[in-house]
A and B are shown apart, each in its own frame.
Chain A
């Protein structure tokens, strides 16, 4: 660790770090495989997350094919369908979004943006990735076990999750729970690093209020995750006990196929409380990094300082705190005291205030900005639109009276795919296009990027707008096929076919993105060290891609906040954070 001296002005980090304190890779294996450098770990996290995300993408195609052309695919039975939707949801929420935002972007950006050489506990950080990889492998293994993966829905509600009749009752559910437990252990190792690095390893002059909002978002999301994941951990361990050891934490007395099971007295509601005590903060674990990254993308590509920086920081903190007080709005249909419903509806709607502040500030940042419609900017803008769309339907669903009839319909599917599916994914794409030049030293292909953006953006709306309508018609979610339901008109089927076509097209666009990712690695335009002319520290590294230890001999010293764009009187339209102020003429 860095020695600190306490001076009159508070703690001052020495500008130079002794060489011995850095970890040095000695062989190819420690440099690229078991590496303790946060940048390499970030890339390992990102590739693993994108890889398993591809599996979830393919599953979504299969789901859509079944919904559009019911009973035309002999390979997709009702059991398979339930397994597909479960695995699609679980992978996307936990193994892709959480891992990519925190493990991927967190690892890459935190040390660079705060001006540190690496994470504070590099060894634990490396361990974090390998435990995450193990969790992913356990998850993948469940596809190949007898009975296949679990089909209990991503919420894994007991008692059905561990009873026969639910697909994957033999091995699927056990591996699922084991994989989640591993994921949480791995995440906690990484999370400790992200939090403590932000707290303790900032360079000279980098006060909390000078941090780029990306770091604030990732920092707060990590704090949420550290406090929320234990709830899922407890739920998983207890359900594993119920399944393997025959305890009755969650299992009530139950008759299965005419036989009394040995369970009795357990409370399925207890699991729901534990699950959603994790599950709702999880929404913000995904959303807060997205908020932060979008703020930086918009500010950089509109050449204008972020509007209301202080307010943005406060909003991140308030959203984080409130997210722990709303969990039971996912349980309106589980039955609860009406006063509880009233309380949870109120807290849920209160979150709209800090969130709306953020949206206004993004829009006001754009106001009279010098907007460059680069691919990262397009994705950032599409995030705002999509997030507002999904947020507005959230206001519907936050009210118990409206939620009860709409719950379990396609309306809910459309809502959460807009607000925590598409919106954060757009940010991930924007962020990849934005930071790819720093990671690889080459720009991603602009034309392919524009194609990827327009197909994904318009396609997402072609998929999810009609889905709201299906939901209002009463088309239920999670159903293998509709059968003959009097209230569902023939047009619903036509609409389903349309949605599936749109989904497959969007899926194709992702292949173009992957191609671009690999193609640009070799043949992309050389980027230089600061292609977007951005102010934050990661663009000011002496080498691109940043070398081992990030900075040369001396750590950068920070003199200003992260958003000095278009400062009147400045030579360039951006002033890097580490540029000393020009001495004023007396």
Chain B
């Protein structure tokens, strides 16, 4: 649970910073404003959709932090047997990085108003993400063929669970991406798609970072590393 508590502390720190901007020490009962003194609401100038994505990412971070906590707790039992990570995962990681790069390209293009490049970036990003997911399925198949079934060992179960949930989040992202691509397709102005493209790009970078964390955890040498750390500490 320490990982979860650490991440909650980070979220708490963000919340505390935000609260510190809200004049919690003010005395609202003394502040009756004349029409000219009505200050802003204290809302941030960031669009609501961006704030919404930020809050959603906090939820996703909590979800995976809890899973990773559970992963480490379960790892300590005697029956844990780490399975080798298929080489294919390295290739898949490359695909996801390229997908993220493509969306970043689309975002920059949207800011500069080059709509053809936006469309190109979105399509490339989407296709690369689909390829990543196909690659993940292929990796599952390889593992199954080698006899690393879901229920054989908790390490395997966590592998399928974590990669599966990550894939589902990517799938949700693809829906948003399709909606954004549809906007571009219908020929909306750059100003009207800029935000959507930006949010897609942020989500993609987030999922890439998440995948790298998961990939690091799921490769066998992490288990060895954790053992070494534990030995050093005791």
Contact = CB atoms under 8 A, between A and B. Distances in A.
Interface of A: 1, 4, 6-7, 9-13, 120-121, 188, 192, 195-196, 199-210, 223, 226-227, 230-231, 233-234, 237-238, 241, 245-249, 262, 264-267, 270, 273-274, 277, 305, 309-310, 313-314, 317, 321, 324, 557-561, 563-564, 580-581, 583
A279 B24 CA distance: 29
Nearest to A203: B41
Contacts of B43: 4, 11, 13, 199-202
B48 interface: yes
B221 to A, nearest CB: 22
Interface in B63-79: 63, 66-67, 70, 73-74, 77-79
B157 A581 contact: no
B55 A196 contact: yes
B39 interface: yes
Contacts of B29: 305, 309, 561, 563-564
A11 B22 contact: no
Given A226-B59, A270-B74, A274-B70, A12 B40 contact: yes
Contact of A581 (B15, B24, B32, B161): B32
Q: In this complex, which of B28, B49, B62, B67 has the most chain A Cβ atoms within 10 angstroms of its Cβ?
A: B28
A238 B164 CA distance: 12
18 contacts: A4-B45, A9-B38, A10-B40, A11-B41, A121-B52, A192-B52, A199-B44, A204-B41, A205-B41, A208-B24, A209-B28, A230-B63, A231-B66, A247-B151, A324-B8, A560-B32, A564-B29, A581-B32
Given A121-B49, A200-B43, A580-B35, 19 more contacts: A120-B48, A192-B55, A196-B51, A203-B41, A204-B41, A207-B39, A207-B41, A209-B28, A226-B62, A231-B62, A231-B66, A247-B157, A248-B157, A267-B74, A270-B70, A309-B29, A310-B24, A321-B12, A561-B29
A558 B39 CA distance: 10
B154 interface: yes
B22 A209 contact: yes
B161 A265 contact: no
Contacts of A231: 62, 66
Given A207-B42, A208-B42, A314-B24, A192 B73 contact: no
Contact of B48 (A1, A10, A234): A1
A6 B46 CA distance: 11
B41 A230 contact: no
Nearest to B65: A230
Nearest to A557: B38
Given A6-B45, A230-B59, A120 B38 contact: no
A11 B80 CA distance: 55
